[in-house]
Structure formats: structure tokens, C-alpha cells
A and B are shown apart, each in its own frame.
Chain A
Amino acid sequence: MAITVSRPKLNWRERAYLPAILSGMAITIKHFRNMLFGRTKVTMQYPEEKWDNQMPEHYRGAPALVRDDTGRVRCVACQLCEFICPPRAIKIIPGEFAAGDRFAKVEKFPQEFDIDMIRCIYCGLCEEVCPEQAIYLRKDYAITGFTRADMVHNKEKLLEIGGVMHGVVLKWNEKK
């Protein structure tokens, strides 16, 4: 079905064209004057200056693994994030805690946990799907590297970015 777009009715000022040009020029000249006297600054001097302290709480930066207060890597290698990740950035090789281990009751942990940051689209689905509150999107956004291999965050790197998460549920402590 064709849609008829009604044209706005222009008054004489708008039809005259010049007043609009002039008011536009006035804004430009105002900015020009402010610039000359150093009253505005439009370029941020990145990387000397950064946005970091203005980042909103919900900012989605690099995904990272966290430890809890007891020092345990919270991830139990359930591989749900690996499954949900749309660009398949995550690769996990699960491991089993040895019988005598401090965390043996948790049974499973990620032996290897790689996130390919070339693939990651910072969607946050891994954080959302994780049943263990183990993976979070942190505020790190400047992920760089010289090679493709550099861009794959392994478990150590992910834990380094992630750090410790306080105040999360410690459900495994209840388990015998």
C-alpha cells in the first residue's frame, strides 16, 4: 500500500530560506568564537585522557572470569556460555578436581578457558546465561594485540581482568 507523506506547510519565513541560513551561521560563529577563547573543547586527548570515570554502570566491556572471596574460580565449566555465545568466541576444556582438593566438592572447573576477543561482540549473553555468577563483562574496552593469538584471552588473562567478586551467592560452601 502506498503511503502518502503530507508535505509540511511552510510559512513565509521558511520559504524565504535566508533567515534559516543566517541562524545556522550564527551558531557556527558562536562555536568559532568559543573555540578561539578556549571555552569549548571537542577533542578528547585519547589515550592520555580516558572516559573511564564516566562509564555507565551497565557498560559492557571485555568478558572476564572472577574468583569469589574464598579464592575459588567461580566457573564450574558448565559450558553454557560456550553454547550461548553467538560468535562462538568461547572455548572451554573442563577438568575435574582431584579427590583431596580444597574444592573437591565442586567437582568441576575449567582447565582451559579461552575467549577469542576478535570474535567477541560484547553482547553480554555469557554473563546473562551463567548459572554460577562466574563471568562478567568488565569495563575494559581497549583490547589490543599484535597477533591473532594475542587476542585470545586465556584463563589467566581472564582472571586477571576479572579479579575478585564480592557479595555473590556461595552455594557450594553449603555442600558437603
Chain B
Amino acid sequence: MSDQVSAPPQMVNVQINGVWHEFPKGTRVIEACEKAGSYVPRYCYHKKLSSPGNCRMCLIEMGLPKMGPDRKPELGPDGKPLINWMPRPQISCAQDVSEGMGVRTDSPLAVECRKGVMEFLLINHPLDCPICDQAGECRLQEFSVEYGSAESRFLENKVKKPKNIELGPRVTLDDERCILCSRCIRFCQEVAQDDVLGFVDRGSHSVLTAHPGKRLENNYSLNTVDICPVGALTSSDFRFQMRVWFLKETKSFCTSCATGCNTIIGTREDVIYRQTPRENDAVNSCWMCDYGRLNFGYLQSEKRLLQPEILSGDKLIPAEWSVAITHAAVQLKHFSGWEIAILASGRMTNEELWLTSQLAKTLGVESIDIVPRHGPADNILLSADRNPNTNGARLLGVTSQPGARLPEIVQGVASGRIKALVALGENPIEIGLTVAQITALPAFIAMNILANDSTPAATALLPSFGFAEKRGSMINGKGRLQRLNRAVRGPGQARDDWEILRDLIQACSGRNGIYSIEDVFRQMSESVPQFAGLSLSKIGDLGVQILENAGSPA
């Protein structure tokens, strides 16, 4: 790996709560304390943003080595430097560790300081936790438990500030709850590169606001909601929908573009309420874009296909799964390989793509491709390739150049050479076929999540699962293999895509040997060297880099 070439970082010795530790030079004191097992409470500090040091919650006692007359540190009986403790507390978030530094995170002075800061923060803070969306994941609540007081000494009236302000299309602000930590401001400046937020007015009346005439509407605005330590910034979409303590959290990743930002899907009783980014420094740091974050509503849409159907006479009628699969297989076996085309999708998992390529092999199909999907890229996270698994489709041989075979398929259908079309998660109308052309096909087998214009023309309709309903792996634009986990159960009679494909292959060829998605992965890892030695569980929560220098597909 390339980072092994650089020299190992210089280490410094730091004493934290009486114990000496070693840290690489340049480590923030607050991070060093956390690594040493003493979490220092904080509001304004965020490890991916600059440190303004304005909340004062991270106060600690600090000392530097005592220097002798020879300008060398004086050593104690244990051979370690003696520490000259500073009389006043210091903030730990804006300073790096240095050789011989001493830190006390839970000394009486430090604890007293935090209690004082908490009392100041709570002076004007409304006590409306029962209606505040942050309750349950609020830093102010958490540190109140540790450093707050049950009684208020503040007898005057609290300052009233604006509430329920739409800062932008997706973010709602409650100024009374804001503790003026400036995380959101710094995020907009430093990460989203859209400097729209700021503080106005002075003293107790300071409020967060958007610059006049501007709105917080960049594609990363919802990250401010995540990093806001209190309930000041709330997601207009999630606001008041569900209390966070009910949410089951499933680690997954976003499938709305080739970046594959790592996420946590929050669900309750098979309903998805929100997606939040999960830290992965190899992919998305701590962030994700709003477009990807909110792109899950379709899984709960009215247009979900819930029941397998087959064409009988000139009508689609509901059928059992086994009947639908057999029906589809009989239709496919009726034609030879060059009369069949498979329209696969860059949204399929590796396992599904592998089975698709097996299906193509079984049937002898050459006309197979995925449908490319593009959109403007920004230089932050969003990729121009809006298919999450183009690299997987390439690696597993479903396509060599995404979209290159599509004209041939369109042509083949138009000329009548192609008599059977298998559309897996894609709408053939999007590649230029007409409803009339599709209806005229003797066999059109459609596996999809949602109904579209082409579904009424299907001869066999196979409802399948969305990204939050299944397990599987994908390879992102940078060649990282990542894992989807199931957050909710699929609706109605819909089935996991890999099972549908497995059954279809089995019905076409009679062969079997796949009982679980792990089996699919194992087969895949036996034939594709990049997967060798891996399994779904070995992929882990943060993924594995399996392709070097995978260029982001054009």
C-alpha cells in the first residue's frame, strides 16, 4: 500500500490522568484523551472540521514538562518528566499533543468547569425535550446527565428566539435550542463549500441564520442536522415522524450513485424513517448527500409490485411464485440464445449480477448489458455514475462498456430477431423501445421493484426487493467492495432478487446447489479472483478495497 512508503509518524509521550501514553505528533489533545479511554465532552469540536474552541465544554487541566536550568525537562523518580500544571484550565480541542505534556480530564477543577459551562448553556435553553426531535441523541441531554444540575438558579425570563424557521428546503431551524457551537457554519464553509450560515446579533440574543437572500439548499444540507449537537437543526423530512429511540439501526450503504456512502438505516416495524451517514474515511468521511439520503421513499411507494403475475390469454393474472418461475422458464427455453436479450442493471448486487451471468450462460445469451445512468457530479461526494455497481457489472462480465450493447438490443427487438426480453430492475422504455414493441414480444420477463410503463406488457412479472430489503455486495466507483444489510422485510409477495434468479436458472437448467446468498458468494469467489478468500461476513462494515485504480466509469 502506498501509505507505507511515508515515514512512520513521530511519537510523543503524553500523560493522561496519571498514565503515560504514546501518540503520533499532531494528534489533538481531545482525540488523545478519547484514545486513552477518557472521553472529553464537547459541543463545537468535530474531528472533520476546524476547531474554533468556542463552546468551552472540553476544558481540561494541562501541564507542560518542568524545565531545569539546563533547559532540559526535569525527571521524576520514575524517570518521566515532572509536569508543571497550568493554574487555569485549557480547552483540549484546539491544541495538539506535545512531548511530556500532562492532561487531567476528570480532576475536580475540570469537572467544576464543565458544570459551569453546562449551567450557562442551559440558562436560555428551552426545556422542551418532550417535543424536541433530538431527544434521545442530544449531546446537551447526555452531558446534562453527567454535569448538569437538576435545579436552575436562573430566575429571570429566558430569551425568546425564532422557532420553526425554514432554513432551506430540507432543514428546519429552532433558534432557541441552538447553543451557538458553529458546527453547521463550519460544515457549510469547509465541506459543502456553500458559505450560507452565520451568527447575527450580540450576546444572549445571538442567533443562527442564513445570509440575507440565501438559503441552506446545497445538496449536503442535511449533514448539518447530523452534526448539530442539539435539536436546533432538524430534518424537515424526518421531523416529528418517529422518536429516535424506537429506530432499529442497520449498517448499510447508499445505492444512489457509484460513491456508495456508508449509512445507517433507521427503521421501525418495517418502515424506513431515515438514513444517516456512517463514518468511513475510505469512502465518505462522515457525510452523505441529501439526494442519496432521502432516496428511499420509493420502497414504500404505492407503485411497489407485490404479487407475481403471468400472462394468461391477454391479461396478467396473479400466480404462485413456482408457477410464475416455471412460466418464465418455459418461455425462455422456447427460444435459442440469440433470440433472447437480457437487460440487467447497475443497481443489482454482485450476487445478482453473477447469477444473471449464469442465466445468460445457461441460455446462451450474448445480448446482455446494463443501462448506464448519469447525472452531474460535484467535487464532493456525488458521482456522475448514478449506478451503484457499475464496477461489479464489469467485473462479473455482464457488461464490458455499460450501454454499448443497448443499440444492438433495441435494433434486435425492432427487427424481430430478439423474441424474448428479460428486464432485471430496468425499464426497457428507457433504452428507446416503445410500449408497442415490447407488447409485440412473444416473451417479456420483467423483474422489478416498481411498476412502470412497460410492466403491463410483461408475460411474467416478478416483484423483487429494494436495497434496504436485501443482503448482498456491490463495488463502488473506487473499487471498494461493500455490503448491504437487510433493514426491513420486503412487502407483499415480493422476493429477494437472488432467489428469483436462482429459481429461474434452476427451472431453465435443472441444476442446483445454491441454498443461501453465502453460497452465491462462494461460487462467485471461486471463479472471480478478486473475490477470492472473501465472504459476505468478511467484507465487514467498512468494506474491502478489491480493485486498484478503478477509474470512475465515465
- Residues of A whose CB lies within 8 Å of any CB of B are 76-80, 82-83, 94-96, 99, 105-108, 131-132, 171, 175-176
Contact = CB atoms under 8 A, between A and B. Distances in A.
Given A107-B164, A176-B160, A79 B243 contact: yes
Contact of A79 (B160, B164, B239, B246): B246
A78 B135 contact: yes
Interface stretch (B10-18, B116-124, B126-134): B126-134
Given A76-B130, A107-B131, A175-B126, A94 B241 contact: yes
Contact of A78 (B126, B130, B160, B163): B130
B270 to A, nearest CB: 15
Given A82-B246, A105-B163, 14 more contacts: A77-B131, A77-B240, A78-B129, A78-B243, A79-B246, A94-B240, A94-B241, A96-B239, A107-B163, A107-B164, A107-B240, A108-B131, A131-B130, A132-B130
Interface in B224-245: 239-241, 243, 245
17 contacts: A76-B131, A77-B131, A77-B240, A78-B130, A78-B135, A80-B130, A83-B245, A99-B164, A105-B163, A106-B131, A107-B131, A107-B163, A108-B131, A131-B129, A175-B126, A175-B128, A175-B160
Contacts of B239: 96
Q: Which of B127, B160, B163, B243 has the most A CB atoms < 10 Å from its CB? A: B243
Given A94-B241, A108-B131, A83 B246 contact: yes
A120 B531 CA distance: 53
- Interface size, B (range): 10 to 19
Contacts, number: 39
A171 B189 CA distance: 38
Interface in B87-136: 126-131, 135
Given A96-B240, A108-B240, A176-B160, A78 B246 contact: no
Nearest to B127: A171
A107 B241 CA distance: 13
| In the complex, the 9 A-B pairs of residues with the closest C-beta atoms, listed nearest first | A78-B130, A176-B160, A108-B131, A79-B243, A131-B130, A76-B131, A107-B131, A76-B130, A94-B240
A94 B241 CA distance: 7
Most buried by B among A76, A83, A176: A176
A78 B244 CA distance: 11
Nearest to A75: B130
Contacts of A171: 127
* Interface of B: prevailing SS: loop
Contacts of B131: 76-78, 106-108
A157 to B, nearest CB: 23
A131 B163 CA distance: 21
A126 B346 CA distance: 49
A50 B97 CA distance: 76
Nearest to A95: B240
Nearest to A96: B240
A134 to B, nearest CB: 9
A73 to B, nearest CB: 13
Contacts of A108: 130-131, 240
A94 B239 CA distance: 10
A108 B135 CA distance: 14
Nearest to A92: B243
Contact of B243 (A83, A107, A176): A83
A105 B128 CA distance: 11
Contacts of A132: 130
Interface string B128-152: 1111000100000000000000000
A80 B246 CA distance: 10
Contacts of A78: 129-131, 135, 243
Contacts of A106: 131
Contacts of A95: 240
Contacts of B130: 76, 78, 80, 108, 131-132
Interface string B149-163: 000000000001001
A132 B127 CA distance: 12
A88 B131 CA distance: 21
Nearest to B130: A78
B176 to A, nearest CB: 9
B244 to A, nearest CB: 10
Nearest to B160: A176
Contacts of A107: 131, 163-164, 240
B452 to A, nearest CB: 31
Contacts of B241: 94
A108 B133 CA distance: 10
A94 B268 CA distance: 15
A139 B19 CA distance: 60
Interface in B242-300: 243, 245-246
A29 B126 CA distance: 70
Interface string B3-43: 00000000000000000000000000000000000000000
A144 B527 CA distance: 66
Nearest to B241: A94
A78 B240 CA distance: 9
A83 B128 CA distance: 18
A78 B223 CA distance: 24
Contacts of A105: 163
B231 to A, nearest CB: 11
B137 to A, nearest CB: 14
B180 to A, nearest CB: 20
A78 B131 CA distance: 6
A107 B132 CA distance: 9
B187 to A, nearest CB: 25
Contacts of A175: 126, 128, 160
A107 B246 CA distance: 20
B194 to A, nearest CB: 27
A105 B241 CA distance: 18
A176 B127 CA distance: 13
Contacts of B135: 78
Contacts of A94: 240-241
Which of B126, B128, B130, B246 neighbours the largest number of chain A CB atoms within 10 Å of its CB?
B130
Interface in B489-509: none
